[in-house]
Amino acid sequence: MLRRRFSKAVLHSILCGPVMICAGCGGGGQSSVESSNTRATVVTTLPATSPTSAASDHSSPPPGSWSMGPRLDSAGNSSTSSSSTASFGVVSVSCPTSTFCGAVGADGYAFTYTHGNWSGKKHIDTDSAAALQSISCPTAMFCMAVDGHGTAFMLSDGSWSSGQQFESGIGNTTVACASSNFCVAADDQGNVFTYTGRSWSSADDIDSGGVIDGISCPIVTFCMAIDGANSFTYSNGQWSGPEPVEMNGLDSISCPTSTFCSAVDGDGNVFSYERGAWSAAEVLDPDGGVLSSVSCPTSTFCTAVGGGSNPESPTGNAYTFESGTWLGGKQVDTSDYLVAVSCSSSTFCMAASGDGYVAAYSSNKD
């Protein structure tokens, strides 16, 4: 969960399956995203950089293509200008399949995407000071969303529950679910909380005084969490750590399996976890650009996103890891940083910019 370098960013995380971007879809009386709310696609291959390790080929452009889609506005509005502001935008999206997504906005609204339409707008969190911050949908029938006051909201069989308090503190939170019976939420005091199908556990202090910036749970018996500098591992019911990763600045982590993870920081570096150990930093953007989010659907494919180094002229960049090699980046958004990304497979990813626009990556490779 990025908190240091993107002053404009409101999207904290995105988790999605192979979903089509829908512009101008009808919603049967529900709010929907219209074509006037779409930013033009301008994708530029970034200049080649020198490889930072033998495993890199930054001179090669990544496969596939990116296309800009609509702006997801938690107020249900459409805008023809990227400079206009929604009430808070969308902070997190999770799409477990190509026909279903869940999304939340910081002003307490939740949305569902079904069969090409964004609709189902519902004000699930009426605490105006809390701010919904993260959502995780392991299946199309279940999502868990959390806010900054330690309240969880569950979507089950199409209906949202009332809020369930799992902590009383105030701070940023993030959530990851491996199934409808296993979720882990983390806060900015170093605590984690486990949901096991009916209720939340009490706080487990795994990083006293630290800020948990990201968490990934690919299966119910394994999770990996990060603070600014360390990782913490959950295995078969027990947390261990800290395990040093870098000096400071980790922002996002993604683990497709218990033996492989990728993490990124705010200085343009990526780190790989393999066979129980973290690699040294690999620089993806030598010009000082930011990496804000990473998503790895498999151990052989990842996408990392962030932005250029000039805050006065922000751009959104994406980098692809394929079969052990980080490839050259692409400038996906010419108007704002990319702050979140999720890939359902090596042929589909979706990213979001700081002002709420989404962009889809697709590839025709087998």
Q: Which residue has the higher pLDDT, 259 or 92?
A: 259
pLDDT at 73: 63
- Does some domain include residue 330? yes
pLDDT at 294: 92
Domain that holds residue 112: 13-362
- Does some domain include residue 3? no
Number of C-alpha atoms within 13 angstroms, CB side, residue 274?
8
Averaged pLDDT, 37-60: 51
Tens-place pLDDT, residues 148-186: 999 999 999 899 999 999 987 667 789 999 999 999 999
Task: Say which range, 52-61, 243-252, 262-271, has the weakest mean pLDDT.
Answer: 52-61
Closest Cα to residue 342, out of 282, 257, 268, 252? Answer: 252
Residue 35 phi/psi, 5° resolution?
-65, -25
Three-class DSSP labels, the chain: CCCCCCCCCCCCEEECCCCCCCCCCCCCCCCCCCHHHECCCCCEECCCCCCCCCCEECCCCCCCEEEEEEECCCCCCCCCCCCCCCCCCEEEEEEEECCEEEEEECCCEEEEEECCEEEEEEECCCCCCCCEEEEEEEECCEEEEEECCCEEEEEECCEECCCEECCCCCCCEEEEEEECCEEEEEECCCEEEEECCCCECCCEECCCCCCCCEEEEEECCEEEEECCCEEEEEECCEEEEEEECCCCCEEEEECCCCCEEEEEECCCEEEEEECCEECCCEECCCCCCEEEEEEEEECCEEEEEEECCCCCCCCEEEEEEECCEEECCEEEECCCCEEEEEEEECCEEEEEECCCEEEEEECCCC
Residue 286 phi/psi, 5° resolution?
-70, -10
- Does some domain include residue 21? yes
Residue 58 belongs to a domain with what CATH number? 2.130.10.10
Determine the length of the chain.
Answer: 366
Task: Say which range, 61-65, 143-147, 274-278, has the weakest mean pLDDT.
Answer: 61-65
Residue type for position 157 = D
pLDDT at 60: 61
Rounded Cα–Cα distance for residues 340 and 295 (Å)? 9
pLDDT at 59: 55
Q: Is the pLDDT assigned to residue 226 strictly greater than 90?
A: yes
Q: What is the dihedral of CA 322, 328, 333, 338, to 10 degrees?
A: 60
Q: Is the pLDDT assigned to residue 96 strictly greater than 70?
A: yes
- Does some domain include residue 6? no
Please give the distance of CA 211 from its chain centroid, rounded to a whole number. 17
Tens-place pLDDT, residues 103-150: 888 888 888 877 867 776 789 998 888 888 889 999 999 999 999 999
Q: Parallel, antiparallel, or unpaired for β 13-15 and 90-97?
A: parallel
Tens-place pLDDT, residues 16-40: 443 333 333 333 333 333 334 556 5
- Does some domain include residue 106? yes
Number of domains in the chain: 1
Q: Which residue has the higher pLDDT, 91 or 120?
A: 91
**What b/e string do you get for 255-272 counting C-beta neighbours within 10 Å, with b at 16 or more?**
bbebebbbbbbbbbbbbb
Q: What angle do CA 136, 142, 148 make, to 5 degrees?
A: 40
pTM, two decimal places: 0.82
- Does some domain include residue 4? no
Q: Is the pLDDT assigned to residue 55 strictly greater than 60?
A: no
Residue 57 phi/psi, 5° resolution?
-140, 70
- Does some domain include residue 246? yes
Q: Which residue has the higher pLDDT, 1 or 353?
A: 353
The token duo for 94 is: 């999770």
Mean of the per-residue pLDDT values of the chain: 79
